[in-house]
């Protein structure tokens, strides 16, 4: 007992907890990272909160986040469990990847997904070829706007969703295709439902989920989206030939066919639909929001855009398509893309982690089962690392000779065991989409449009507010 008291006396400090609601009134749930930054100044790098009955610890600044995620990787590798997941099919041996508890099944599925993405020699085309091909379709759709003001969001969303479709279902869809449009709409609905206040509230008050009819009403969008995924998988299964792996779904079906042990390792039908939904959820809005930040910064910093145009003309020219090999010869463009990710800060509070065992961090005791928030925003804007943390300044990633350098605090994909699984694909999409579009167009702010806002809005990820631009062919 004395030992426990001593440990808990070293629990991180935090604002005073109120009856029933805990510390929730101190947090602006539309801008959690801004509230965290204020509390960071008051309580230091590690502070505690309480969401009703749930204990949370928030980690701030590069040193602290790195120590937890990298040096004590396993201690911080678990994910908290949210009761609302059950209503979209989360169950034993089928937890997808993103919110799966740390353990054997998650390890197997993550390893399989990473290696399937890595040797995407499957099918006929490499992943890079698919990104390049999609960039071509994106350019044609932008050209069709003929220099008129338009919101790039829909086209960019289509392009990145198509990349996930290509990986999972082996092919892309035309942007006008009915099935594709339905899928993107269902997907967006389900994401906004997940980010909504009601879902968050039900996670802290799960007892309300027992009210008859309520879950069906609240998760209507997510269920519709999962039903749609079922149809696509069913169609796929009808044409499946075990001799030939066309895509991720085929590779997963092949694992499933290996019997009981594989099923125990998470290769079962229910998990296939959850992993598929996870890849869409984690892989499309994130990349699309980053690209939209990139074009917004180009509108606001025309001198940066001109320098990129010059570098493209010098290294690639106007005719051939950019490839990943060009990246090493394009330090400025590379620095700009990194600065877009740093400044855009699209995952300001990352994804919640949970302690896998009792642990200590910088002298504080954090018990097993505590929800841990990694304030990635405080790392990407850490004043002790970045020269101009709150400005768009590509020089953060250039040395005195103009060569590309990457400070260790560049952590938009997080770090450690749960580091973003799609980082390599995301980097490829960002470089090829961005460079191809700038090779073909000059992006301008339409005369009658207000200057776009540089603050974002937060709904699971931080997106730019809607803006219009003109794309003038070069």
Contacts with ligand HEM by CB under 6 A lie at 97-98, 110, 278-279, 282-283, 286-287, 290, 346-347, 350-351, 353, 374, 412-414, 418-422, 425-426
Question: Per this entry, what is the length of the chain?
Answer: 474
Nearer to ligand HEM, 361 or 421 (CB): 421
Separation of alpha carbons 142 and 158, rounded Å? 12
Q: How far is the CB of 182 from ligand HEM (least distance, A)?
A: 21
Nearer to ligand HEM, 218 or 336 (CB): 336
Rg (CA), the chain: 23
Residues in a beta bridge with 58? 47, 373
Q: How far is the CB of 197 from ligand HEM (least distance, A)?
A: 22
What is the biggest distance separating any 2 CA atoms in the chain, rounded to whole angstroms? Answer: 74
CB 353 within 8 A of CB 369: no
CB 23 within 8 A of CB 17: yes
**Phi, psi (degrees; rounded to nearest 5) at 231:** -60, -45
Nearer to ligand HEM, 274 or 282 (CB): 282
CB 248 within 8 A of CB 168: yes
Nearer to ligand HEM, 7 or 357 (CB): 357
120: which residues sit within 8 A by CB, 6+ positions away? Answer: 126, 127, 167
Nearer to ligand HEM, 427 or 470 (CB): 427
Residue nearest to ligand HEM (CB): 422
Q: How far is the CB of 229 from ligand HEM (least distance, A)?
A: 15
Q: How far is the CB of 412 from ligand HEM (least distance, A)?
A: 5
**Angle of helix 423-440 relative to helix 104-118, nearest 10 degrees?**
30
Nearer to ligand HEM, 152 or 279 (CB): 279
Q: How far is the CB of 198 from ligand HEM (least distance, A)?
A: 24
Nearer to ligand HEM, 218 or 343 (CB): 343
Nearer to ligand HEM, 22 or 283 (CB): 283
Exposed, middle or buried by CB within 10 Å (0-12, 13-18, 19+), for 418? buried
Token pair 């004590």: residue: 72
Element at 441 (helix H, strand E): strand 441-444
Query: What distance lies between CA 197 and its chain's CA centroid?
Result: 20
SS3 percent helix, strand, coil of the chain, rounded to 5, is 55, 10, 35
Query: What distance lies between CA 382 and its chain's CA centroid?
Result: 21
285: which residues sit within 8 A by CB, 6+ positions away? Answer: 157, 191, 460, 461, 463
Separation of alpha carbons 39 and 348, rounded Å? 15
Torsion angle, alpha carbons of 70, 350, 227, 425, to 10: -60
Q: What are the E-state strand segments in 296-393?
A: 353-354, 359-361, 364-366, 371-374
Q: How far is the CB of 420 from ligand HEM (least distance, A)?
A: 3
Separation of alpha carbons 291 and 20, rounded Å? 41
Q: How far is the CB of 63 from ligand HEM (least distance, A)?
A: 17
Say whether 382 sits in a helix, a strand or coil.
coil
Q: How far is the CB of 255 from ligand HEM (least distance, A)?
A: 17
Nearer to ligand HEM, 146 or 408 (CB): 408
Q: How far is the CB of 158 from ligand HEM (least distance, A)?
A: 15
Nearer to ligand HEM, 309 or 357 (CB): 357
Nearer to ligand HEM, 100 or 226 (CB): 100
Q: How far is the CB of 353 from ligand HEM (least distance, A)?
A: 6
Nearer to ligand HEM, 42 or 111 (CB): 111
Q: How far is the CB of 350 from ligand HEM (least distance, A)?
A: 5
Q: How far is the CB of 33 from ligand HEM (least distance, A)?
A: 12
């Amino acid at each position: 007992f004395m030992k426990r008291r001593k440990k808990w006396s070293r629990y991180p400090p935090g604002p005073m907890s109120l009856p029933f609601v805990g510390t929730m009134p101190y947090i602006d749930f539309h801008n959690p990272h801004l509230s965290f930054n204020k509390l960071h100044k008051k309580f230091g790098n590690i502070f505690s909160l309480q969401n009703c009955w749930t204990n949370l610890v928030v980690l701030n600044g590069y040193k602290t986040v790195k120590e937890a995620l990298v040096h004590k990787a396993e201690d911080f590798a678990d994910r908290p469990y949210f009761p609302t997941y059950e209503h979209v099919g989360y169950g034993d041996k089928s937890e997808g990847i993103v919110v799966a508890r740390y353990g054997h099944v998650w390890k197997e599925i993550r390893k399989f997904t990473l290696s399937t993405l890595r040797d995407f020699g499957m099918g006929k085309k490499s992943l890079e070829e698919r990104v390049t091909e999609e960039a071509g379709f994106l350019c044609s759709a932008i050209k069709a706007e003929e220099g008129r003001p338009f919101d790039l969001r829909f086209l960019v969303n289509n392009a990145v969703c198509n990349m996930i479709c290509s990986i999972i279902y082996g092919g892309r869809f035309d942007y006008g295709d009915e099935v594709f449009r339905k899928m993107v709409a269902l997907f967006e609905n389900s994401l906004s439902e997940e980010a909504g206040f009601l879902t968050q509230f039900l996670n802290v008050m799960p007892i309300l989920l027992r009210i008859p009819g309520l879950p069906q009403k609240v998760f209507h969008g997510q269920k519709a989206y999962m039903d749609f995924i079922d149809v696509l998988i069913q169609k796929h299964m009808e044409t499946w030939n075990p001799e030939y792996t066309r895509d991720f779904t085929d590779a997963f079906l092949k694992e499933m066919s290996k019997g009981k042990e594989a099923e125990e390792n998470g290769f079962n039908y229910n998990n296939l639909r959850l992993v598929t939904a996870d890849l869409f959820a984690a892989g499309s809005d994130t990349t699309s929001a980053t690209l939209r930040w990139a074009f917004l910064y180009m509108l606001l910093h025309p001198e940066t855009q001109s320098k990129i145009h010059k570098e493209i003309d010098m290294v690639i020219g106007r005719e051939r398509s950019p490839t990943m090999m060009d990246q090493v010869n394009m330090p400025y463009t590379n620095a700009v893309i990194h600065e877009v990710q740093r400044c855009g800060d699209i995952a300001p509070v990352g994804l919640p982690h949970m302690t896998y065992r009792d642990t200590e961090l910088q002298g504080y005791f954090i018990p097993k089962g505590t929800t841990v928030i990694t304030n990635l925003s405080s790392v990407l804007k850490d004043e002790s690392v970045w020269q101009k943390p709150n400005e768009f300044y590509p020089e953060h990633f250039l040395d005195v000779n103009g060569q590309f350098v990457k400070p260790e605090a560049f952590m938009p994909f997080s770090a450690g065991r749960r580091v973003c699984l799609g980082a390599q694909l995301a980097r490829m999409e960002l470089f090829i989409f961005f460079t191809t579009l700038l090779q073909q167009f000059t992006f301008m702010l339409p005369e009658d449009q207000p200057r776009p806002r540089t603050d974002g809005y937060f709904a699971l990820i931080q997106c730019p507010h809607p803006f219009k631009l003109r794309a003038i062919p070069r």
